[in-house]
Amino acid sequence: MAVYADKKVCVFCGSNVGDDLKMPVKMQQLANYLCAHNDTLVYGGGRLGLMGKIYQDIIAQGGKVIGVIPEILKDHAVRPVGQTTLYYVSDMSARKQKMIDEADCFVVFPGGLGTMEEFFQVYSWFQLGLVQKPIILVNLDGYYDDLLKFLQHSAKTGFMPKANVEALIVGNDFEALFEKAADFKYVKANKWRN
């Protein structure tokens, strides 16, 4: 079984914890996978919600973190300890660009609007070939079922290639998800039909 080791894994997730107690438990599993495989967490540098949870879970195991915090959110930043590098950037766009540049792959965990904004930035650049790295969607308890339904609808009605829906790595089990990420090869789908 291929493992995803010695990589930089960018995690987009809620700055809230959410109401489902399974969310922080699942986050702990993600932190465990990253630490067990010497991966570095790349994330938004926040201390709140699931963002803060993964930070604490990784640092508690002596893992490595790169955080990227924009000026507007500097009061929400973690206090960097252990193997943490915290970059301060001017704005949200610079932050996203930095996270995209640093990462080898993207993990979209349950979250709200900020998480969706980051997901769609990376995914829309994926269809243009500007991002050619694997994108994992963690569909815990069907959290992203409706999003996936929308993407399938978009493909069915001619607004995006079906191949790009199928290119997303979707599931719940990190061993299986990261195995697919390790084997991932980018193929640029034809977005425009004519």
Interface residues with ligand AMP (CB under 6 A)? Answer: 12-16, 44, 46, 48, 51, 73, 76, 111-115, 118
- Closest CB 52 distance from ligand AMP, rounded Å: 9
- Closest CB 111 distance from ligand AMP, rounded Å: 3
**Bridge partners of 106?**
10, 135
- Closest CB 12 distance from ligand AMP, rounded Å: 4
- Closest CB 188 distance from ligand AMP, rounded Å: 26
Q: Which is nearer to ligand AMP, 13 or 131 (CB)?
A: 13
- Give the C-alpha separation, 139 to 150, whole Å: 14
Residue 185 exposure: Cα atoms within 13 Å on the Cβ side: 1
Q: Which is nearer to ligand AMP, 121 or 164 (CB)?
A: 121
Q: Which is nearer to ligand AMP, 21 or 187 (CB)?
A: 21
Q: Which is nearer to ligand AMP, 97 or 189 (CB)?
A: 97
Residue 106 exposure: Cα atoms within 13 Å on the Cβ side: 29
- Closest CB 194 distance from ligand AMP, rounded Å: 37
Q: Which is nearer to ligand AMP, 73 or 182 (CB)?
A: 73
Rg (CA), the chain: 16
Beta strand ranges found along the chain (DSSP E): 8-12, 40-43, 64-70, 83-89, 105-108, 135-138, 169-171
- Measured over the CA atoms of residue 170, residue 176, residue 179 and residue 185, the dihedral's sign is negative
